[in-house]
Amino acid sequence: MRIATWNVNSIKQRLDHLATFVKSADPDVLCLQELKCMDEAFPRAEVEALGYNVVTHGQKTYNGVAILSKKPLEDIRRGLPGDDGDEQARYLEGVISTSAGVVRVASIYLPNGNPIGTPKFDYKLAWMDRLIAHARRLHGLEEPLVLCGDYNVIPEPKDAANPEAWANDALFRPESRAKFRELENLGFSDAVRACSDQPGLYSFWDYQAGAFQRNNGIRIDHLLLSPQAQDKLKSASIRKEVRGWDKPSDHVPVMVDLNID
């Protein structure tokens, strides 16, 4: 089973790119973030024509997450538990049945949190606490689980070309990184780092100042695996070439291959 995650930065603007990517990479499951549209405005017919079942949790103009799956999705959860007043569309979860059992997948668009010292940073940390609490419950199910998405967290200095430039950014603040480690310490593994410890692996490049051409990037898109998923891990990869396409998202897809039929 191939599972991919991608912040498309507007599904309507990136629909052609989506079609090109799925035809070349052929993921079984694709988690999308930053749709920037309501559910009814999602190009469902076009995506279904590519061979996918579609579940969305959208929001007008901002946020929005989706899961595309070749197999039907069940046990769908829209929204992260823990705050009934939170109207931001940032979390979507579903279960896929396979010949070997079930695989649970979540599409996550974690808050950016900037600027620090404001309610936006407080919201980010509180959202991460809710994610940790929910992930702890899911971990207890003892099933293959992949938490996919744009985490807006740079885990380590080696995950940024110029870590000093991010020192006062919410993506690299010690508080954000500590919450990410707390999530991992529940028993989840970072799929990319489970396969490679080398520096220079990035999933985001800013549109400004030729960042992509200079490889001035950061790694903030992650797939976290439960122990049952890590046991099935074959490989993980970052599709860097997608950032070089015409009018791209500032993020690229990140993929994992699992030994699951």
- Across the range 194-219, mean pLDDT stands at 96
Claim: this prediction has a pTM higher than 0.85: yes
Annotated binding site: 7, 34, 150, 152, 250-251
Residue 43 token pair: 């190009």
Annotated binding site for Mg(2+): 7, 34, 150, 152, 250-251
DSSP state, residue 161:
S
pLDDT at 12: 97
Helix, coil or strand: residue 64 = coil
Active-site residue list: 109, 150, 251
Task: Report in angstroms the alpha-carbon separations of 81 from 7, 145, 203, 206, 240.
Answer: 22, 17, 28, 31, 33
> Cβ distance 124 to 153 under 8 Å?
no
C-alpha span between 81 and 127 (Å, rounded): 10
pLDDT at 207: 96
**Alpha helices per DSSP H over the chain:** 15-25, 44-48, 119-139, 174-184, 191-195, 227-230
C-alpha span between 73 and 148 (Å, rounded): 16
- Across the range 128-144, mean pLDDT stands at 97
The confidence band for 99, taking pLDDT boundaries of 50, 70 and 90, is confident
Domains of the chain: 2-258 (3.60.10.10)
C-alpha span between 222 and 177 (Å, rounded): 13
pLDDT at 224: 98
